[in-house]
Each structure stands twice: as structure tokens, then as C-alpha cells.
Chains A and B, each alone.
Chain A
Amino acid sequence: MFKHIYTYELKYWLKKPAFYLYAIVFASIAFIAIVGTAGLFDSLPSTNNGIERLVNSPFELNYMLQYFNKFMLFLLPAIIGATIYKDYKNSTHSILYSFPIKKQAYLYGKFLSALTLVFTIALVVGLVIMIAEHIPGLHESKIGVFNFKGYLQALLVFVLPNLLFYGAIVFSVVTYSRNIYAGFIVIIVLFFLQNITENVFSGFLIALLDPFAQNAVMYETQYWTLIDKNTKLIPVFGTVLYNRLFWLTISTLIFSLANKSFTFTEHPIATFFSKQKGQRSTKYEAKRLSDMKLPVVTFNFSDMQQFKNAWSMSNMELKSIVKNWMFYIIVAFGILTVLFAVGKVTNNSEMNILPVTNIILTIPALFFITVIMLLTFIYSGMLVHKDSTSNMNQLVDASQISNFSLLASKVIAIIKMQALLLLTMMLAGIIIQVYNNYYHFEIGLYLFHLFAVQFVGLIIWAFASVFVHSLLKNTYLGIFTLIIGWLGISGLKEIGINTRLLLFNFSEPMQYSDLNVYGNLLQPYFLVKSYWFVFGIILLIITYLLWNRGVTESFKKRISSARSRFFKNAKIAASLSFIVLIVLGFTIYKEENKSEELSSKERSNAFNQFEKDFAKYSKIKNQPKITDMDLNIEIFPKSNGLSVNGSYILVNKSSKSIDTILVKTGFDEITEFTIDRKANIVDEDTYVKFSVLKLNESLETNDSIRLSFTLKNKSNTLFENNSNTLNNGTIFKNDILPRIGYFLNSNQKHPSDSAAQNTHYYSQDSDAISLKTVISTSNDQTAIAPGYLKKKWTENDRNYFKYETDSKIKNSLSFSSGAYEIKKEIYKDIDIEIYHHKNHVQNLSKMKEGLKAALEYNIKHFGPYQFTEARIIEFPITEGTYASVMANSIPTSEMRFIANTTDETIDISFYTMAHELTHQWWANQVVPADAFGAIMLSESITEYISLNIYEAQFGREKALQFLKMQRHRYLNGRVREPGIEPPLMLVEGGQQYLAYGKGIMSFNTLSHYMGKDKLHTVLKGFLNQYKDKGAPYPTSLDLVKTIKENTPDSLQYIIEDYFETVTFYDAKIEFVRINRTKNNDYEVILDFQFSKYKDSDESNELVLSDYMEIGFYNDKNEMISIKTALIKSKSNQMKFQLKEKPSKIILDPNLLLIEKDVKNNVLNP
């Protein structure tokens, strides 16, 4: 019996085109993805790159197949679910179930045949990838040795088991509920489940609970280097196996439950909420026939009434959606994801931020909108086919309702559903805000973002969904097509289709900023959306013309009946829409072609070519330095325009004459420059904007020339803002101005390289400069440049500001313009000013406290502040999330103004400002040389001083918390290090985990043992030695040398372990005994282990003569005593005399050791 059912089902599906369609769709996507990532569509990569990530390594194959697998899961309801559902749909079951079929044969026959089909598709995909990696034309560097085991592993451990597990669940649920859509819901729920586990759990639990085992693989391979990823097989006998077993158990459980409860009955098994009380229905006798005359009613068939009908009918359709429990399950999961996403974005790794409306409207809203889209796909199918599914179509179709009303009622119902869900999203957002004690409700923003910005996109999808479903008789094929289409749009971008005219309903997510609102993104957004909206209308007109009325007709018949419907209104609407579509399309086309933007491929080609052709100039190191700058900047916020004219004085500070000057001008700007000395441009790259000037008469030592320039932004198009000017909150830096020297490969020198000390880390073309700026902006904005405001006036309805520096500053400049509120305070004769958005007041006083504390601390320990002003200037979140010190300004991201410092964690606002201001000493007074280790001098010291300021302000406990966070930052950061972790004193620019995390620990430990005052004195001496001196600039080696000279022999090991090498400690409490002594004291005998080792050689334990602190605490968690022990061996037993009985002992309570595992440092005797 089983065999018959099995083969019958197989034959049934093999006859259907849908099966082949599914296979072809997946196979072709896989093929394109593989050859695409293997570089078939790209130019050749530049040769000097290091190791490439291989496309066909087991790791990558697995990644790719797991990714495909997730989308293949949508086949499960479409095939495995459908295979049993079709018996219910066609009511075959009422006959079939009376046959003498064995239940097991029926269920297993159906399930296994469908599973065979799904497996076949998966295997076809695997096969296609196998073929794809062998086709010619791929980049050899991206293709490794063919590894069959990789395929085998990915398929046998992940892909096929996933299909089996979730196929079983889908089959069970569809069998139990007799509802195919429930199958789709299962898949969506699984996706949510993955998302939720990722947000709720951590580490091993995520790995275990991830339904698709992607996190299990990540967990097992988290410490893999690129070489590992290119060569190793994924270890499957650990976490992966547990994960597979876990989900095997779950699916088996569900399958056997469904299997057990399955009976051959006409009606589905009642669920607890669908079962209604049994009622006896009594037959009653016919009443006397009443008067046959029907009451007189008016019939209305006007066009207007057709609209009204559609509206009222849509309510009925909407009810059928929202009366369904599946709808609520998805919505509930959607809200949960929003909740977790809000949690995730407001507690990100950088900082905690307030749940402000525009943050809720980013990723969390995007999640929910994706849910709305999936529901649109599903329910538009249900509505389009509702009449025929319920077999009521003959009644409806024979009524005089127009096709227009029928179609419109379904479209409107879907749109109403979307609106309802958007409202739900808004309420969920507000509730989350209330829950987080955030009460600044921006209802207007919610409404605008959800109901204007997002709604259009959803409505266009509603049009498309109704269109697709009305073409395809099979609802699940329709849903599947839509999902693939939706995912495929971003795929089109991948293969190089970039025009908005072809990327259906596609738009990049828009980040809203309180300062800059949507920038200039709204106009192009709505232009593109109206184009697709009209396109959607045309789809609907086609849908209308092809609308099937009465008996289902062949497609040919539908086309011919469409012709007969195509007159009057339809014709007018179609031609109108078509004209509007052409007009909008042409506008988009014109705007897109205005900008001469190269594609990313062409761009990288241009840069590769530049590197080849101009590398020879990198040898020209001797260049004049900028000493004076004169700038005249005009900012036009409304038109996003920027123009600058200015001049530099360049001085030859070297002892050799200079005859070649290298000038790099702003990449996005149009710059013209001249020098006041005869010179020829001998070489030039007009795309990269690099010119080589040969002076007729060379520039001798201490001689100077003037470079004058004008620059303006490339003209803006609707889609591209080519200037740095924003409507509000403009910020740009000196990188748009002309720079001198070969600009690639800077910051690459070893500190022992003597050339490194000639230039500083921040700009190679100047030491310190004097700057005069006249900056103007619109009449409602304030413009800010480095230096002090000398004059301010209004001319031609524009605001002008003149800024000048009193002392020389580093050539790291920022310029701002915006409509700010300003908060001012004078502290120790220093003007403190905060330029901020009017709503962003939550953190102002904390920021000010941070500045003041830093001023106080640094002036006291390291000497005077070099400015009389400290300005914090807010810039939009779209421009970055950082804060950075630039002369006497600290441009600070909007994100930091919405920091959430109410909870018990680190006061990020205070800390950020303390940190940035401390840089005025450590980065601006002492300017590190252009070499590795530079940011140890700037960031590590600054972070260490910030810790001290923090401790002075908030106390020891808080400072320890801060330190703990930094240790975490270091340990977490180092595992993501793509290369080899260098010692602290050779830290590179991008290695923030090292400069901040390890840097602060190193200086703190050193300071702890050698004495804070002593270290401060050493640092102050170092500062005074290099302060405002220009070249030669100090390197990290210079500082380490100075510190070494001032450190007693017993502590020299700290410098070696923390600064000069990558060393780890491990301390572990083993045993403790407490004895009462005669004089009522306590004797504590402590057994513990202690070791240290180099990261490069973990097995080799180093010789010890190290200090460690041991803290003793009473039952109120108060410290009784802290002892410092000198440790010389691995196993130790020590005795301590205490006045009080300890109930907790902690090794290294002050977090002085760099330990990977601190869990075993604590013991409660």
C-alpha cells in the first residue's frame, strides 16, 4: 500500500510544472551566486591583495548552502504541505478515508514522496554549485581545490536534515490543521525563532537552539582565521551534533504527536479554541409562506457605487483575515522581534541609547515591515482565491457586482490590513518607549514614517501580490514566486543592475536624523515610489482585464476576454497610467544619468590603475609643509552647495631643496589650484585627483610658496548629494581640501624607522598651522570653524562668521553649520559651549560635567589647556556615531546625544567628553609620530586618564565596572582580529580593542603598582619634552623607554608583559581553610594556581616573579582586607591573618591581570 501511495504521489508531482519551476529557480540562483562571488562579473582584482576568501572551501560552501537552505524551507509547505493538503482541498479525503488504507502507509507514503522531491531539489542545487565552481572565467584566486567532502558535509549534516526536520513539522501541522497556510507560518516562526534566540541567549545556547544550525557552525568556527576557513572541514561532532539531535528530537516529537492524533475522519480534530459547544438543531415545520412580494429596494450600479461597494466588501475580506488565529501568531512573533530588535539597537556594543522614535523606526520597524510584507504575500493569495476555495465563486460571479469592485475590494482589504499592522507597530513602539520610561512621543514622526514613507512601498507590494496571485491558480506557487521575487531584487543589484527603473519597488532604508530629518532623500524616494506605484496600477489594470469570472478558463481564453474588456474606463486608465509611468521613468532616467558616478567595479579599476601608475611617487618623501591656511567657505544648506576658496603657505622645512610637489585634491569636489611660482603639471590622475607638479625653480630650505585654490562640489542630482552640505547639521573636514604628498600607504611605518618621526600621525603635510576662516551659511544657521570667533555679520541675507586661531593647531579641522541651540557655561575662564538639537537635552549636563572634570584633572596633573574654549557640536547620526576632537571643537554624533545613561551602567556621556577633552593633552599637545604604536600615545593614555577622572567622579566601584568593560572589549576584539595581534606598543590604527581595551589595563596595572603620582610625573615629563615642538615626533618606543627608566626592577616585568609582548595570566583558587587563632583572629590558608604564558606559545609557561592581589570580603560583601602577594611558582599555598571571618575571597579583585577566564578567581568558603 505504502509503495502505491508513494509512487502515485511522485508521479503526480513529476507531471506538474511547478516542481520543475522550483528546481530551476533555485538552481539558477545558486549558479549565479557562485559564479558571481567567484568574480565572473568583476574585473580582475589587484594583485597585491593577500589571501582571498575561497568560494569553494568547505566553510564557504556550507555557508552558501545553509543560506540557500533557508529559502528552500519555503518549499516545504509548497510541496510537503501541499501533498496532504490537496486531499482536503479537493475533498478527496472524504472518499479516500473510507478506503481500507492503513494510516501509516498513507502518512508515510505522502510524507516520504514529498520529501524525496524536496531532497531532489536540494541535491540539484548542490550539483549545480559543483558545476559552477568548475566553469571557466572565475578568478583563480577565489577557487580552491575541489573538495567533495565539503559538499557531502553541508548536505548531509545541514541541508537535508533541515528539510527533514522542518518538513516533518510542516507536514504534521498541515495534517493536523488541514490548512496549508499553517505550513507557511511554521517556516516564518522558525525564522523568528532563530532571530529571537540570537537576541535572548548567548554563546552555546544560541548554537544549540538555532533551528538552522548556522549559529552552531559559527560557534565552532568563531576562532578560525581566514586560512582555517579556506582549508578546514567544519567540526560536526560537537555543538553541531547536539544542535542536530535537539531539533531531530523536537521534530520527531511533533511528527509522532500528529501521527498519533491523525484519524481518517471527515472533519479536522477540534482544537481547544475552535471547538464549540454542541447544540441540538431542531427541525421545524415550514411557516406559512408569507406574501411573496419582495420589498421594493433601489439598485444602484453607478461608478461611484462600485467604489463604495469595493470599500464595504473589503471589510468583509478584512474580517476573514483578522478572524484567523494564524494572523495573530505571526503578528505576535512580529511584535516580539520588534521588542528584541529595540533591545539590541538601544544596547549595542558601543553604548546604550534611548529608545527614541527614529531609532525604533530603523531596524525594529524594518523587521515588522518585513512581517507585513510576508502577510501581504500570503493573504493576497488567500483573498484572490477565496471565492473559488470556498466554492462560492458561482454565486458571486453570477451577481451583478463588477469585476472592478471584486478586484478593488481585495486590494483595499490588503491595504487595510497593512494599515492595521502599521498602527500595531506604532502602538508597540510607543509601549516599548513607555516601558523604558521614555515619554517624548513623536506621533507625527511615527505617522509620517509608517503611513507615508513605508506604506507606499507596502501598497505597491499589495498590487504586485494581487497581480501574481490572480495569474497563478496555485496559491503557494504564488507566495513562493513573490518571496523569490522579493529576494531576487537585491540579487539584481548584485549582478550589476543599478537603475531604479528596473529594481522593482526597491529603496535603500532611510535613516532619519532629528537634525537633518530625512535629508534630501524624501523627494527621490517618493519619485521612485510613484513610478512603481503607477507600475503597480498598470499591473492592477492587467489583473482587472484578466480577472477570471465564472468557470476557470485557459489563459488563452482569459487573454481574449481581456480584449473585450479593454474599452472605455480601462482604456483611459491604462493610457493615463502609461503616460505617467513614462514621464516619471524619464525623470528618473534623466536624474540617474546626470551623475557621472562610476560603478564600483570601474571605480576600483581606476584606483588599481592609479596605484600601478603613481606608485613611483610614493618615494618622494620630502615635501613642503603647510604652515598657514586662509579659507573662505560658503555653505548653502538649502541647495546642498559648498564652495571654498583659500590659500596655503607651504614651507620647505627640510634641509634639502624640493623640486616636485604632489597635490591631492578632494575626491568628490571640483578643485582648481595655482601656486605662485612657475611650475608644470608633469603627471596627473584626474579621476583620483592627484597631480605632480614640477617646479621650474626648486624650493630651497625655509623658502615658501603660496598655493591658492577654489573648490566646489560636483553638481547635485536628485539621487546624489555630491557635497558634504546637509540641510541642517553639516559637518565636513579638511580631507576635502588640497593635501600635499603621496597619500596612500601612510601610517605604515615601524616606530624604529627614523623617517617615522618626521611627520605626525594625523597629517603628513603639516606640523601645526595657523588658520583664518571666513565661513558663511544661510540666515537661520550658525557656522563654526576651528579657532575663535572674531567677527560675525549678516550680508545678502546670509550669516558670516570669522574665526582665527591664536596658537598653532594640528591640521585636523572640522567645519559645521546648523540651526543649533547653544548651552554655555564659563568654567575656570574657559568657555564651555554645546551646540545641539533643541530636543537633545538629556545628556547636556553630563557632557558638561565630563568636560569640566577633564579640565580640572588634566590641568592639575599635566599643565594648562591650550584653548580658552571647548565646544561640543552635534552632527547628524547619518554622518557617523563617533565623537572626535578637532582643535577647540568636539564634533559629536547625534547618537551620543541620545545616549541612555539613566541605568546603572557606564555614564557614557560623561566619559566620552572626558576622553575627548583629555586628547587636547594626549594627541594635540603631544602629537605622536606617524608609526605603529601612535594610538598608544593618544588613545591608551587618554583612556587611562579618563579612567582616573571617572574614578574621581563616580568612585572605585564604577571605575572597576568601567575597567571590566574594557577588558571585555579587549578579549572580544582580539578574536575578531583578522591578522596577528601585535603587542600594545605596535598597535595599528584600526586596532581599537587593543589601544583602548588593553591600553587602559596596561597603564592602570602599571600605575597601580608603581604609584599613580609617579606614573603621572613620568607622563608629564614626557609631555613637556615633546609639547608643541614639532618634528621629531615621539613614538611609543620613546614612551616605553622613558617609563622603563622610571620603573623599579621588580616591576619591569609589567612593561614587558603588557606593552612589549602579548601575554596572558591565569589565576585560579583551589582550596581554602579558615582556622580560628588563639587571639580570636582568623588564619586563612589559601591554595591557588598562577601562571602566565605568551599568546604565541600557550603551552610554555613563563618564569614568575609577579604580583597579585587577593581580596577578602565579609558576608556583607565589604572588603575586610586586601593583600598583595609576590608569586614565584605555579602552585601556591599562602597563609593570611584576618580580624574578621571572610566569606568570599577574590584573586585580583582590581582587575589588574589580563586573564581570559576569571570565573575561577572567586571562592566562597
Chain B
Amino acid sequence: MNLSINNLAKTYNNGTKAIDNLDINIDKGMFGLLGPNGAGKSSLMRTIATLQAPDFGSIQFQDIDVLKDPMSLRKVLGYLPQSFGVYQKVSAEHLLDYFAILKGIASKKDRNVIVQHVLELTNLYDIRKKHVSGYSGGMKQRFGIAQLLLNNPKLIIVDEPTAGLDPAERHRFLNVLREIGSENTVILSTHIVEDVKELCTDMAIMNNGRILQKTIPSEATKTIKNNIWTTTIKKQYLKTMEEKHLVLSSSYNENNSLNIRVYSDEKPSIQFEMATPNLEDVYFIALKNS
């Protein structure tokens, strides 16, 4: 269940280098691809999902050469794009049946069984007769997962699936993902650190079309164990602080003062205290260094 990407590149007509000579290896399990908006995550996801041809490079999943033989990959692929629509006035049940045909399930009986199953799995069974176009954001994302599961995929790509979901929906959604991630290769692209923290066994941080850092979430915090410092300042001093130190993040307190986190090998000054590093720190360090 190994996905290996070598020397992949894609430049758009407007000159944007979306993927910049990228190499990465992804193994079985949940893989989080973390990066800010515009980092090239979606371009990478689309390219892996055979929807976009790269300028050069190679993508190999198990023994499938994805670029040469996209159809073979599609057989084992489940893809949930960043945003998608559906046909008007078609119920979830019918639309899933349609997707089941698209995914090669020939027998009507088989289709009925699996559609019912994925509906239950994604908790859409009660509203299966409603038009998908009328679903709320969370319901629609779960529908996306439902369609993705139909062909029992080995490689699952979900592109920013939690954006715009309320906490409860997000929680539900991640639970579903977790279950299916245990047996397969799941690539979850997101800009929300929490998602990765809660879910992923492996991760990479991406920006400007390149992988900045590939790591394991639990390990990543260990390497900066003694380097994260925090203090509270008045907000007008933020600028001076940023000039002096590598400020990773800042957050307001109730009294309008700021909590800042700084990366430093030593204690920057007396007012700082050592903080327990978290994944967000790892993310920001990677971005600041790039």
C-alpha cells in the first residue's frame, strides 16, 4: 500500500508553480498533508487522483504506474475533492446507485447492498430519499465519503474535507475517516492542524509546491521539546518581538494583551516561560523556515 511520488512538477499556464519537483513516499495509514491555502495541496491531490496531468514526474501506487495507467488506479481510488456539486433533484440513494455503476458494480443487487451499507455508515440512511443538492455542508461531505467508499478503495484522497463543518459534524466526519484509514492509505489534505493531530499517523507540511517537512506527529513535537517559549505582552510590542525573535503564533487574551509563542534554542528573556510544544508549533516552524 505504498504511494511514491518522484520528481513531480506542474506549472499552470499563468506561471504558478503548483507542484515543484516534489518527492514523497506515503505508506499505509492516515497521512496528513498540512499546508496553507495555495500551497499546492489540491493540485497534488488532483494529480494523484488522475484528474490532472503533471508536466513531468512519476506516481506509483503499489504496482500501478498512475500516469500511464490511470484507469487501474481509479479502480482502487476513493477521492473526495475540495468542493463538489451534484446533479439537481436526485436523491442520495439514486445518486449513490449511479456512482456504484460508475465504479463498476454491475449487479443491481450488489449495488443495493453496498449503497445501503455506505448510507448507514455515513449516517445518511434516514435522509437517503432527499435530494443531495439540498443537503447541508456536513451532510454533503458525508455523502462525499459515502460515494468514495463504494468501490472499497485502497487509496483514499480527501481534500480539505472539514473546511466549513461545525464541530459536531467535523467530529463525526473524522470518526468515519479514522475507521476507513486503518486498513488503507488515506491522504488527508488540510490546513487545520487539529485534524492531523487527532487523526494522522504520518504527516507532511507543504508550501509553494514543495514538501517542507515529513514527519510523524508524535515524533515531531519531541524534537522541539525544549525550544518553545511563551509569554504575555502588550499588543504594541508584537512588532518588536517579531524583529527580535522567531514568533510562531500569537493569540489575544481577554484583556487585549497577547500570548505569543517563540521558537528559540535558549530562553529568550526572563519574561518567557518554557511551553509544551504542540503540532501547530511544528507547522509554523516549518512554514517560517521555508
**A contact set with B: CB distance below 8 Å:** 281, 283-284, 286-287, 289-290, 292, 294-295, 297-301, 305, 308-309, 312-313, 316, 320, 323, 386, 390-392, 394-402, 549-551, 553-554, 557, 561
Give A67 Cβ to nearest chain B Cβ, in Å: 38
Q: Is the CB of B46 within 8 A of A399?
A: no
Q: Is the CB of A395 within 8 A of B81?
A: yes
Beta-carbon contacts of B115-157 to A below 8 Å, as 1s and 0s? Answer: 0011011010011000000001000000010010101100000
Q: Is the CB of A295 within 8 A of B117?
A: yes
Give B110 Cβ to nearest chain A Cβ, in Å: 4
Known: A399-B99, A550-B46, A550-B50. Is A287-B123 also a contact (CB below 8 A)? yes
Stretch at the interface among B28-36, B86-94, B241-249: B86-94
Beta-carbon contacts of B159-201 to A below 8 Å, as 1s and 0s? Answer: 0000000001000100110011011000000000000000000
Known: A394-B84, A550-B52. Is A312-B175 also a contact (CB below 8 A)? no
Chain B residues within 8 Å of A386, by CB: 87
Known: A286-B175, A299-B151, A551-B52. Is A400-B106 also a contact (CB below 8 A)? no
Q: Is the CB of B103 within 8 A of A399?
A: yes
Give A742 Cβ to nearest chain B Cβ, in Å: 75
Known: A298-B106, A309-B101. Is A320-B117 also a contact (CB below 8 A)? no
B229 within 8 A of A: no
Q: Is the CB of A391 within 8 A of B84?
A: yes
Q: Is the CB of B113 within 8 A of A401?
A: no
- The complex places the Cα of A400 from the Cα of B148 at a distance, in Å, of 12
Nearest B residue to A551 via CB reads B52
Chain A residues within 8 Å of B50, by CB: 397-398, 550
- The complex places the Cα of A316 from the Cα of B87 at a distance, in Å, of 10
B104 within 8 A of A: yes
B53 within 8 A of A: yes
- The complex places the Cα of A402 from the Cα of B176 at a distance, in Å, of 29
Interfacial residues of chain B within 65-107, with CB under 8 A of chain A in the complex: 71, 74-75, 77, 79, 81, 83-90, 94, 98-99, 101-107
Give the contacting residue for B175; candidates A289, A396, A399; CB below 8 A: A289
Q: Is the CB of A313 within 8 A of B121?
A: no
- The complex places the Cα of A692 from the Cα of B136 at a distance, in Å, of 93
Give the contacting residue for A299; candidates B52, B83, B103, B182; CB below 8 A: B103
Q: Is the CB of A551 within 8 A of B110?
A: no
Chain A residues within 8 Å of B149, by CB: 294
Please name 8 pairs of A and B residues whose Cβ atoms are closer than 8 Å in the assembled complex, sorted by A. A286-B175, A297-B107, A297-B152, A298-B105, A298-B107, A394-B81, A551-B46, A553-B53
Give B41 Cβ to nearest chain A Cβ, in Å: 15
Known: A309-B101, A398-B51, A398-B79. Is A294-B117 also a contact (CB below 8 A)? yes
Chain A residues within 8 Å of B282, by CB: none
B13 within 8 A of A: yes
- The complex places the Cα of A394 from the Cα of B50 at a distance, in Å, of 10
Known: A298-B105, A399-B99, A550-B50. Is A391-B83 also a contact (CB below 8 A)? yes
Nearest A residue to B171 via CB reads A286
Give A412 Cβ to nearest chain B Cβ, in Å: 13
Q: Is the CB of B175 within 8 A of A400?
A: no
Give the contacting residue for A401; candidates B83, B103, B175; CB below 8 A: B103
- The complex places the Cα of A553 from the Cα of B117 at a distance, in Å, of 36
Give the contacting residue for A400; candidates B53, B83, B102; CB below 8 A: B102
Q: Is the CB of A289 within 8 A of B179?
A: yes
Q: Is the CB of A561 within 8 A of B84?
A: no
- The complex places the Cα of A298 from the Cα of B100 at a distance, in Å, of 11
- Starting from the known contacts A292-B180, A394-B81, A401-B101, 6 additional A-B residue pairs (CB-CB under 8 Å) come to A309-B101, A309-B106, A395-B81, A395-B144, A398-B49, A550-B51
B114 within 8 A of A: yes
Chain B residues within 8 Å of A301, by CB: 75, 104
Known: A287-B123, A392-B87. Is A312-B101 also a contact (CB below 8 A)? yes
- The complex places the Cα of A401 from the Cα of B127 at a distance, in Å, of 27
Q: Is the CB of B101 within 8 A of A299?
A: no
Give the contacting residue for A399; candidates B74, B127, B136, B172; CB below 8 A: B74
Chain A residues within 8 Å of B46, by CB: 394, 550-551
Q: Is the CB of B87 within 8 A of A320?
A: yes
Chain B residues within 8 Å of A394, by CB: 46, 49, 51, 79, 81, 84
Most buried by B among A309, A386, A395: A395
Give the contacting residue for B176; candidates A289, A316, A391, A397; CB below 8 A: A289
Q: Is the CB of A549 within 8 A of B103?
A: no
- The complex places the Cα of A312 from the Cα of B101 at a distance, in Å, of 8
Give the contacting residue for B147; candidates A395, A550, A551; CB below 8 A: A395
Known: A309-B101, A313-B102. Is A395-B53 also a contact (CB below 8 A)? no
Give A687 Cβ to nearest chain B Cβ, in Å: 64
Give B29 Cβ to nearest chain A Cβ, in Å: 15
Chain A residues within 8 Å of B90, by CB: 316, 320
Pairs A-B, 4 closest by C-beta atoms: A391-B85, A550-B51, A297-B110, A300-B106
Nearest A residue to B117 via CB reads A295
Nearest A residue to B108 via CB reads A312
Chain B residues within 8 Å of A323, by CB: 89
- The complex places the Cα of A851 from the Cα of B169 at a distance, in Å, of 91
Interfacial residues of chain B within 36-68, with CB under 8 A of chain A in the complex: 46, 49-53
- The complex places the Cα of A402 from the Cα of B114 at a distance, in Å, of 21
- The complex places the Cα of A390 from the Cα of B75 at a distance, in Å, of 24
Nearest A residue to B48 via CB reads A398
Chain A residues within 8 Å of B81, by CB: 394-395, 398
- The complex places the Cα of A52 from the Cα of B81 at a distance, in Å, of 68
Q: Is the CB of B179 within 8 A of A292?
A: yes
Chain A residues within 8 Å of B182, by CB: 292
Q: Is the CB of B151 within 8 A of A313?
A: no
Chain A residues within 8 Å of B110, by CB: 297-298
Nearest B residue to A297 via CB reads B110
Chain A residues within 8 Å of B99, by CB: 395, 399
Known: A284-B126, A290-B121. Is A400-B74 also a contact (CB below 8 A)? yes
Chain B residues within 8 Å of A400, by CB: 71, 74-75, 77, 102-104, 151
Q: Is the CB of B106 within 8 A of A281?
A: no
Nearest B residue to A396 via CB reads B102
